[in-house]
Chains A and B, each alone.
Chain A
Amino acid sequence: MASPVIELDEVRKTYRTGAIEVEALRGVSLSIAQGEYVAVMGPSGSGKSTLMHILGCLDVPSSGQYQLAGEDVSAMDEIDLAEVRNRRIGFVFQQFNLLASMTAQRNVELPLSYAGVPRESRRQRARDALERVGLGDRVDHRPGELSGGQQQRVAVARALVTDPTLVLADEPTGNLDSAAAEDVLRLFGELHQQGCMVVLITHEAEVAARADRVIRIRDGAIAYDEVGVR
């Protein structure tokens, strides 16, 4: 196994809501290597969303260590985290989260504009990414003019346009019909084939079955971690 790109060591996360402390993660240790395709499963309230937030650098652990590509992100401030998210992580959300006022191309350009990529190369890279997800002929369409499956493919293009270390997908097929869901899952398969690390959060067993490795979370801890379930 290659040296891990993601390494979590005894990660705990505690939330405080009023007087009650909720321990969402109770010591999760996990390593994911370059090019792995991982599905994270678990019932709601299991802590899988919290794990996704920490993996995606949207939040920091209360205790424990998180190394992402050799960088300790567990103690970073908001500004450094934003920079790490921009450079390392491509997000795909259940709700697509495309900006309705912008064309597909401008949506895909967005993370590049935060990275300070010059306009010309930004445009070219966005077009290439849309080409990769099979939407080369839809660059000037706005999200409202695209089907749900197409919108999610634009979101995938936005996730991979920065060549991220990790593509993190949170229930990416949750809002899609089965044909569109199949399209998007095939796309993740292709990304994996091309050597991209994909972490997919889902509660559907058939979606998880597409991954090489399935991690089940229960009560804030890893209950099951199996490589090569297929």
Chain B
Amino acid sequence: MTWSDVFGNGWDAIRTHKLRSMLTSLGILIGIAAVVLTVGLGQGAQQKVAKQLAALGGNLLIVSPGSSTSGGVRGGFGSASTLTMADATALTSKTAAPDVSGVAPVLQSSQELDNGSTNWTTTVVGTTSSWLPVRGRTLESGRFINASDQASAAAVTVLASDTASELFGPIDPVGQTVTINSVPYEVVGVLTSAGSDSTSNLDDQAIVPFSTASQRIVGGTNRTSVQTIYVKASSPDRLSAAYQETNAILQYRHAITASSTTDFSITTQQSVIKTSSSVDNTLTTLLIGVAALSLIVGGIGVMNIMLVSVKERTREIGLRKALGGTPALIRRQFLSEASMLGLTGGLLGVAVGVGGALLLPHFISNPIAISVPWIAVAIAVAIAIGVGFGVYPAARAAKLSPIDALRSE
């Protein structure tokens, strides 16, 4: 008896009891659909976080001035003075920092922006033209600040999307004027929405040239001091190399020989990624556990139906044995039936799961990933459950004596 005969017979038996087979598969169907959906939810959330972080600078180093080493007496404004525009320029050196692809010095301050009678208080960010690629942002309309704005300390600004709608409503802000500190600024562009990171709304800020911010808005004695330098590594796996280079350049420039006197600090967003993915892993593990339970219940359903089937088909088993069916072949036949019940449940479960993964994101905010390797695993698990829970009923069928089996009514 070939395998195709064995599976042909199994398929016959399943087709003969369509309703019963469907109901039996239902348990496995629900379990597999749950696995596909929960894994999809977990992976979708992870991908979303990873994508967000990558877009907002997954390969980003944030250099901040340190205040601890400056004696503790210098606070606020003064603590920012350890980093300068010259530091930022030094980091752009292709020879000293080959793994750095972009450097954006930032000087920011909270200001009131006015459009006629409408006012809105937001963060005004003074930076250079490299801010856009370094922070991974794009423009919705207009242009970004450029080198000539920088050179002339021009009164131009680029608004983030929320800021733009707060000040101008539905009107296109490009070409309009906002007033900061009684000085009119021309709006030259609007940023595409980027959502929020863990600390701030990325869509609520106004970008101005660095020179404009330091000379006209922040002021102060040291007009080249910088609050933060964003350093972008050429790729996420070059992040630690970029970190080393940045650290070395700044220590050299600040003439620091001992790490205890370091007057700046470099942080990354890696720690944020780690935290968020570990939370997702816990949740995914929990949901997989729930799905595993429902698969076990489904498997018990398969075993139940197979036992009923063996009992009902005792005569058939007796006949097959009389015609030359060995115990091994009888066992194989029932195992193939059980595995096909599992496979049916698995395939339908994957169909429902994938359908859910396509439909649900329209109703809930979470994205659901469809993972092909996990679908393959789910189908293999469904078959394994059918076989696993079919072993005992199949053994009972194989053990029947042909005489008793033929006699049964």
Q: When A58-B402, A101-B12 are in contact, do A78 and B327 touch as well, CB less than 8 Å?
A: yes
B1-37 CB contacts (< 8 Å) to partner A: 1-2, 5, 12-13, 15-16
A158, B323: Cα distance in complex, Å: 9
Is the pair A113, B319 in contact by a Cβ cutoff of 8 Å? no
Is the pair A110, B322 in contact by a Cβ cutoff of 8 Å? no
- Of all A-B residue pairs in the complex, the 10 with the closest CB atoms, nearest first, are A86-B324, A114-B324, A101-B16, A111-B323, A82-B326, A97-B319, A113-B5, A58-B402, A101-B12, A79-B326
Is the pair B1, A101 in contact by a Cβ cutoff of 8 Å? no
Q: Which residues of chain A have C-beta atoms less than 8 A from B320's C-beta?
A: 110, 114
Write out, one digit per residue, whether chain A residues 85-129 have a CB within 8 A of any chain B CB (1) or not (0).
111000101010101111000000011011110000000000000
Is the pair B323, A114 in contact by a Cβ cutoff of 8 Å? yes
A79, B321: Cα distance in complex, Å: 10
User: Of the candidates B12, B16, B315, B325, which one forms a contact with A97 in the assembled complex, judged by CB atoms under 8 Å apart?
Assistant: B315
Is the pair A82, B13 in contact by a Cβ cutoff of 8 Å? no
A59 at interface by CB-CB < 8 Å? yes
Q: Which residues of chain A have C-beta atoms less than 8 A from B308's C-beta?
A: none
Using a CB–CB cutoff of 8 Å, the interface residues on chain A facing chain B are 53, 56, 58-59, 78-79, 82-83, 85-87, 91, 93, 95, 97, 99-102, 110-111, 113-116, 158
The minimal Cβ–Cβ distance linking B408 to chain A, given in whole angstroms, is 11
Which residue of chain A has the shortest Cβ distance to B318 in the bound complex?
Answer: A97
A119, B320: Cα distance in complex, Å: 18
Which residue of chain B has the shortest Cβ distance to A155 in the bound complex?
Answer: B319
A91, B315: Cα distance in complex, Å: 14
Q: Which residues of chain A have C-beta atoms less than 8 A from B402's C-beta?
A: 58
Q: Which residues of chain B have C-beta atoms less than 8 A from A82's C-beta?
A: 321, 324-327
A79, B15: Cα distance in complex, Å: 30
Q: When A58-B402, A58-B403 are in contact, do A99 and B319 touch as well, CB less than 8 Å?
A: yes
Is the pair B16, A85 in contact by a Cβ cutoff of 8 Å? no
Is the pair A113, B1 in contact by a Cβ cutoff of 8 Å? yes
Using a CB–CB cutoff of 8 Å, the interface residues on chain B facing chain A are 1-2, 5, 12-13, 15-16, 315-316, 318-329, 402-403, 406
The minimal Cβ–Cβ distance linking A180 to chain B, given in whole angstroms, is 21
Q: When A97-B406, A99-B316, A101-B13 are in contact, do A56 and B326 touch as well, CB less than 8 Å?
A: no
A87, B326: Cα distance in complex, Å: 13
Which residue of chain A has the shortest Cβ distance to B13 in the bound complex?
Answer: A101
> Which of B5, B12, B322, B327 has the most C-beta atoms of chain A within 10 angstroms of its own C-beta?
B322
Is the pair B403, A59 in contact by a Cβ cutoff of 8 Å? yes
Which residue of chain A has the shortest Cβ distance to B16 in the bound complex?
Answer: A101
Is the pair A56, B322 in contact by a Cβ cutoff of 8 Å? yes
Is the pair B324, A85 in contact by a Cβ cutoff of 8 Å? yes
Q: Which residues of chain A have C-beta atoms less than 8 A from B16's C-beta?
A: 100-101
Is the pair A78, B324 in contact by a Cβ cutoff of 8 Å? no
The minimal Cβ–Cβ distance linking B134 to chain A, given in whole angstroms, is 69
> Which of B315, B318, B323, B326 has the most C-beta atoms of chain A within 10 angstroms of its own C-beta?
B323
User: Of the candidates B12, B325, B406, which one forms a contact with A114 in the assembled complex, judged by CB atoms under 8 Å apart?
Assistant: B325
The minimal Cβ–Cβ distance linking B8 to chain A, given in whole angstroms, is 9
Which residue of chain B has the shortest Cβ distance to A86 in the bound complex?
Answer: B324
A78, B398: Cα distance in complex, Å: 11
The minimal Cβ–Cβ distance linking B399 to chain A, given in whole angstroms, is 10
A101, B320: Cα distance in complex, Å: 14
The minimal Cβ–Cβ distance linking B135 to chain A, given in whole angstroms, is 68
The minimal Cβ–Cβ distance linking A60 to chain B, given in whole angstroms, is 11
